[in-house]
Amino acid sequence: MVNEPGILSLGEGEVLHLEVEGEHYQLPPDDVRNLLFTGRAAPLVKIQRLGSDEAKQRVTIEGHCTMNRAGKAIIFFTVMGHFIIPLVSFRRVARGDAVSAPLFPLFPGEPGADDE
């Protein structure tokens, strides 16, 4: 069984959630549209709750994602490593046609890669 290093899933409000080795990043719907239709890089944000009050939260940019040169994959650059997902899988999750899709390590030997 292959253990993927990360998962891309669709959440409430059409926000894409990226879970990589215990870290959780979000990609808002406006940034998803810009990424798909204009090819612009989009920031990956991390939301941290400050205390028990849900109104207090800190939003930080922890990476970015961009389309590869061929236009057939999305590459995620995070502090946890670099990951890739086929464009067709990314679109299926963004549209809600698929519940989730696995991420793959961009380079062997990086965190999340199976080095056997």
pLDDT in tens, 51-80: 776 677 788 899 999 999 999 999 999 888
Q: Token match 């999750």: residue?
A: 93
* Mean pLDDT of all residues in 72-89: 93
- CA 64/CA 37 separation, integer angstroms: 16
pLDDT digits (tens, 9 = 90+) for 19-62: 988 889 999 999 999 999 998 999 999 888 777 766 777 888 99
Domain ranges of the chain: 6-105
Q: Report how far residue 53's alpha carbon sits from residue 99's, in angstroms, rounded to the nearest whole number.
A: 30
DSSP character string of the chain: ----SEEEEE-GGG-EEEEETTEEEEE-HHHHHHHHHH---EEEEEEEE-TT-TT-EEEEEEEEEEE-TTSSEEEEEETTEEEEEEHHHHHHHHHTSSSEEEEEESSTTSTT----
Single pTM value for the model:
0.82
